Amino acid sequence: MRSRKKKPEVQPPPLHLIHEEVNRQRESTARRSDAMNGRATVLIGAAAIAGSLQASDLFGNGWLIIAVAATALAALCGILAVTPKPRRELDMKMVRNTLFRKTDDEALLFLIDHKNDALAEIEKLLSHRARWLRRGYVCLVISILAFVPLVARAQLTITIQ
């Protein structure tokens, strides 16, 4: 008669590995947030430059009005993308009181859960900010496309004279 081998029990990964991964993801999210701030700053700057070039003769030309309005919307979207949003952080006093009588594994699991919740909240905010950035860049492209015929016509007028 053959003896049956027991299947090895699947052990959960050590909590410190999960904790390290959550911390790595939080750092990655912070870098993405910084990069998003940079892109929003570029959008605001480009909209400011485009607006100053377009604002020379606002009245009497429909394309120019569209261009300036789209530029203003692009700048507004950029500003909304960099406006800080409140987010929940761990209350350290509550953490201390909660973890005071827990084992190391229980304490680490508590921290992992709370950091993971905060990470999900940050990801949601980043998605919201990314939508504002996309809208802003679309408005900036519309602004530039509306301004191109005006520049082309001005170049044509200068060439003819």
Cα separation, 145 vs 149, whole angstroms: 8
Distances (CA, A) of 104 to 10, 87, 96, 110, 116: 21, 27, 13, 10, 18
Tokens 């408005």 found at: 139
| Torsion angle of the four alpha carbons 47, 53, 57, 62, in this order, in degrees rounded to the nearest 10 | -50
Structural tokens at position 1: 């008669």
How open is the CA angle 62-67-68, to the nearest 5 degrees?
Answer: 100
Structural tokens at position 136: 């802003």
Cα separation, 44 vs 137, whole angstroms: 10
Per-residue pLDDT of 130-158, as tens digits, reads: 999 999 999 999 988 888 777 776 665 66
Which tops the pLDDT comparison, 14 or 23?
Answer: 23
By CB atoms closer than 10 A (0-12, 13-18, 19+), residue 86 is: exposed
Which tops the pLDDT comparison, 54 or 8?
Answer: 54
pTM for the model: 0.71
Q: Among 89, 79, 22, which Cα is nearest to 45's?
A: 79
- What is the percentage of the chain residues whose pLDDT exceeds 70? 81
Cα separation, 52 vs 75, whole angstroms: 12
Average pLDDT over residues 78-91: 81
Residue 127 has pLDDT above 70, yes or no: yes
3-state secondary structure of 147: helix
Q: Which amino acid is at 62?
A: G
